[in-house]
Each structure stands twice: as C-alpha cells, then as structure tokens.
Amino acid sequence: MKKTVRPRRLMLVIASLLLSGVAVMSSFSLQAQPEPARGVAMKLPGARPVIDASQYGSIQAALDAVPPEGGVVRLPAGTFEIEQPLVLRTGDTLLQGVGAATHIVNRNQTGEPALIVQHRLGMKVAREDRLWRVMLSNLRITGNPQSGHGILAELIEEIFIQGVTVSYHGGDGIRLDHCYEDPRVSDCLLTYNKGVGLNLLGCHDIVVSANQFEENQDAVHCFDGFNLCMNGNCVDDHLGHGVVIENTYGSVVAGNMIEECQGAALIMDRDCYGNTVSANVIAHNGQGVVLRDAHGCAVSANTFTIMKEDALRIDSTSGRITVAGNNFSNSFIGEDSVKRQKNDLAAAGMTIDRAQDVVITGNLFSSVQPKAIAATDARRISMTGNVLTDVESDHSQFTQSAAAGNVK
C-alpha cells in the first residue's frame, strides 16, 4: 500500500530542514571569522594609553609612564603624601582624580611646589617645543606654610585647570608662568594660600570663570598680559587685595562678587588700558576699584556698597575713564533705616585725585561719606544725569568741566 505524507507533516519537515540549513550556514560563518592572535590586545589605531596610577608604586611613576605623545593618568581616591614635587612633562595629557576624594598632601618644608607642569628643559625650552594642551581636573592639593606653590605651570600652551581644590600653600595656589596661549581656570576652589590664589604672569586670552577664592593673600593677579576674561567668580575675605591687574589691556572683569577684602577689591596699575570693570558686586572691602595707572577704561553698572574708603578712586596717573550706571550706597533699607550696626556704617563714594578726561553719567550716590565725589584738581570732567541723595560733593570745583542735569 502506498504511504502518503499529510500536508501539515510535510510543512513541518520542510521547516525543520530549512532551520538545519540556517544553523549549518551560521556555524560556517562564525568559524570562518579570523580569531585575534593569542597575546595580542585589540587596540583602536591612534589611541593613547590610560594609565591607572593605582597600579604604580607612586604618582610620579605613573606620570613618568606617559609616552611623549601624551595620554591620560587617572588618580584613585585616597590621601597621597609627597615630600618632593610631582612633575608632569608631557603635552596632550590629562591628569584626573575623582574629586576631593583624591587628595595630594605636600609635606615639603623647603618651599617646593606640590605639582610642576613643565617641559624637561624648563624655562629654557624653545618656543616651538613648548608643551601644549595639558588638563588638570578633579583633585585636591593641600600644602603647609613652608611649602611652595600648589600648582606651578611654566610655558604650557592651552593649559586647562578645572574642578581642582588648592589650599594652605606657603606660595601661590596656582601660578601660570607665561602660559601664553589660552589658559583656562574654571570651577576651582582656591583657599587659604599665603601667596596669590591665582597668579597669571605673561598670559593672554585668559578665561577665569566660576571659581571661588577665599582668604588667600590676594585672590587674582594678572600681570604683563592681555585679554583677561574674568566672569562669575566669588572672591571673599582676602587678607590683601581681590584682583590686581598690571600692564594688561583688552580685559573684562564682570559679574563677580568681591567682598570683604582688607585691601582693594580691584586695582589697575602700570600702564593698563582698554579694560572694563562691569556688573560686579563690590561690597565691604577696604577700598573698591582703584585706578592707579589706567587709561581708556570703563567702570560701569557695578554696585559699590558699604566700602570703608574710596569706592572708586581715579589717581593722577589715570585718565580717559568712563564711569556710568554705578550705584554707590550704604546699608539703607528704607524708612530711614540701615542694616548695619553703628560700628559698621562706613560707606564711601568716589575720589578723583588730579585726574582728567573723565565721564561720570547715570550713577546714583546715596548716603556715602565723606562725599559723593571728592576731587582735587580734577580737570575736563563731564558729569551728567546723576542722582545724589543725602551726600555732599565737590563736583562744582571741577575745572574746564561741565556738570549738568544732575539731581541733588
């Protein structure tokens, strides 16, 4: 008798044969792929090494392992005590911790820095051989009164320091020595250093943004440079001055809070020109903005409150200054009330000491002492559209000047 195959069973048999064929083909395909040679690590062409410092005997050994073309050194959490400076000598390098949990403690007692970033030839390196693109990130470095700077970088182009805490050093917190091209310092905490929190020497096209400075000697120095862009920083409780700018042009200090520095909030000296100080809160300092030797500069839209003396001072070696839209005030809070106690009522105005070519417009001077504007031999002054409330002023004594449209 002839045996027949039912259609349903036939379909199942065909499906089974097809699946078997696919399995055979897949097996062949997998077996046909070449296997990597044993002992040879797969590597992306052009990739640079990531060095795990926890696998080395010291942080310096990990830094020394970076090849000449650069790489990444990752520091683990922990407290790492050093007696001699750590030295980073390669460009295109990232040194990165895991935040404040990565803590480098400088125990040196002979004025040595904690971390030095420099070419192996130091300051003798040829310009064309300088190191480029070094980033320091997410770590904490502390020192002691006898140690040197926290971070010292010399002749590094496009250095970037972000998220670093630098405290308690006998020298500066961070010193960038002729790191000429595009240095950037952001989101750092620079505190209790006996020198300057951030010392910028011979730099240009500089960004200093969103940092906190607390109880250093001075907060920031920018000497012999140009194009400083300092924005959104908090500067508080300094033993000396807040920001000192010398021989620097084309710069802006804007949107910062500068409070309770024993010296001046901001000084411009030694041939400064073309700088702007704008939209800062300058509160309760020894002095406010002091223009010792500055020309072609603007001081605008700042709030000067409860300054002990000279909220704004323009000395004889300064001129061609625009002063516009500022508020000079005491701690008045309405209804003839002041916020401060009787032993803290000082609130200063503006002093012009033998300077000339100054525009004063759109400012408010209220309840400041001894005068809204104290002037000695001030010449070629244009004073218009200001409001003077509960103050005395010397503006009528200006010579070769115009004072009109002011409300007193």
398, 294: one domain = yes
212, 278: one domain = no
Candidates 394, 384, 386; CA nearest to 364 is 386
Residue 49's pLDDT is 81
Q: Give domain status of residue 103, yes or no.
A: yes
pLDDT digits (tens, 9 = 90+) for 139-154: 999 999 999 999 999 9
Contact status, residue 196 vs residue 215, Cβ threshold 8 Å: no
Looking at 190, 216, 242, the residue that finishes a domain is: 216
Q: Give domain status of residue 106, yes or no.
A: yes
Range of the domain at 368: 256-408
135, 82: one domain = yes
The better pLDDT of the pair 117, 27 is held by 117
Q: How far apart are CA 39 and CA 374, in angstroms?
A: 81
Residue 260's pLDDT is 97
Looking at 168, 185, 216, the residue that finishes a domain is: 216
183, 296: one domain = no
Q: How far apart are CA 307 and CA 368, in angstroms?
A: 9
DSSP assignments along 324-338, one per residue: ES-EEE-SEEETTEE
198, 329: one domain = no
Residue 391 has pLDDT above 80, yes or no: yes
Name the token pair of 76. 């683990």
pTM of the model: 0.89
Q: Give domain status of residue 61, yes or no.
A: yes
Candidates 73, 42, 40; CA nearest to 58 is 73
Looking at 191, 216, 241, the residue that finishes a domain is: 216
Q: pLDDT band at residue 306, thresholds of 50, 70 and 90?
A: very high
Average pLDDT for residues 251-276, to the nearest whole number? 98
Residue 202's pLDDT is 98
Average pLDDT for residues 300-328, to the nearest whole number? 97
Average pLDDT for residues 1-18, to the nearest whole number? 50
406, 336: one domain = yes
145, 285: one domain = no
102, 187: one domain = yes
Q: Give domain status of residue 288, yes or no.
A: yes
Q: How far apart are CA 300 and CA 323, in angstroms?
A: 6
DSSP class of residue 397?
G
Residue 131's pLDDT is 98
Average pLDDT for residues 81-95, to the nearest whole number? 98
Residue 8's pLDDT is 56
133, 266: one domain = no
CB atoms within 10 A of CB 387: 15
319, 383: one domain = yes
**SS3 of 36-102:** CCCCCCCCCCCCCCEEEHHHCCCHHHHHHCCCCCCEEEECCCEEEEECCCEEECCCCEEEECCHHHE
Average pLDDT for residues 345-373, to the nearest whole number? 96
57, 164: one domain = yes
Average pLDDT taken over every residue of the chain: 91
Q: Give domain status of residue 21, yes or no.
A: no
How many structural domains compose the chain?
2
Contact status, residue 407 vs residue 384, Cβ threshold 8 Å: no
CA angle 308, 262, 242 (to 5 degrees): 110
Average pLDDT for residues 226-237, to the nearest whole number? 98
Exposure of 342 in the CB half-sphere (CA atoms within 13 A): 0
Q: Give domain status of residue 222, yes or no.
A: no
Residue indicated by tokens 């055979």: 24
Strand partners, 290: 267, 313
Query: Domain with 76 in it: what CATH number?
Result: 2.160.20.10
pLDDT digits (tens, 9 = 90+) for 316-356: 999 999 999 999 999 999 988 888 888 788 899 999 999 99
Residue 21 has pLDDT above 60, yes or no: no
pLDDT digits (tens, 9 = 90+) for 98-121: 999 999 999 999 999 999 999 999
